[in-house]
Amino acid sequence: MRRKEREQGTEFIHQVMDSCAYMVLSMTGADGLPYCVPVTPVRSGEDIYFHCAPEGEKVDALRANPRVAMAFVGEAETVPRKFTARYSSVLARGTAAEVAELDEKVEALRLLCLRHCPGDMDRFDEVAKAWLPRTAVWKIHIDAATGKANPGD
């Protein structure tokens, strides 16, 4: 990291991962071209889970090359008159794998719902049962992550 004074530790990294609205998942497409897409993540230990359709460009890319990069943005706003931005962000690299085991898939979906729509958990079992056959879940093991913040001073 070039600006060492902005580097943050593991607690900060986990806080940004656990609170961001979405992450941008970057990968190499099956055609060898770069491809990125925003997804809603949830972290469990050193793994990131997300859900998607069972087929499509993202799935094709992940199957062709499971090595990925992720960008999480916690806070981002310009600071008027200072020509800077106040931000918190995390960049990470990892290896993606489709979750095949049913119990892990359901638990990952439960964690995703707890994080992104906690007020609707009373309907989780009903909705999960309906959507499970046509929903894929992927797990990315985090190999490396760096956190960075600028207070905007």
pLDDT reading at 84 higher than 90: no
Instruction: State the pLDDT at residue 34.
Output: 97
**What is the number of domains present in the chain?**
1
Domain coverage including residue 116: 4-150
- pLDDT, one tens digit per residue, over 99-120 is 999 999 999 999 999 999 999 8
Q: Which residues contact 124 (CB under 8 A, 6 or more apart)?
A: 109, 110, 113
Q: Which long-range contacts (CB under 8 A, 24 or more apart) does 127-133 make?
A: 132/105, 132/106
Q: What is the CATH number of the domain that holds 123?
A: 2.30.110.10
Closest residue by Cα to residue 92 from 9, 31, 37, 13: 13
What is the three-class DSSP state of 142?
Answer: strand
Mean residue pLDDT of the chain comes to: 91
Q: Is the pLDDT of residue 2 over 60?
A: yes
Asked if 65 and 107 touch (Cβ cutoff 8 Å), the reply is no
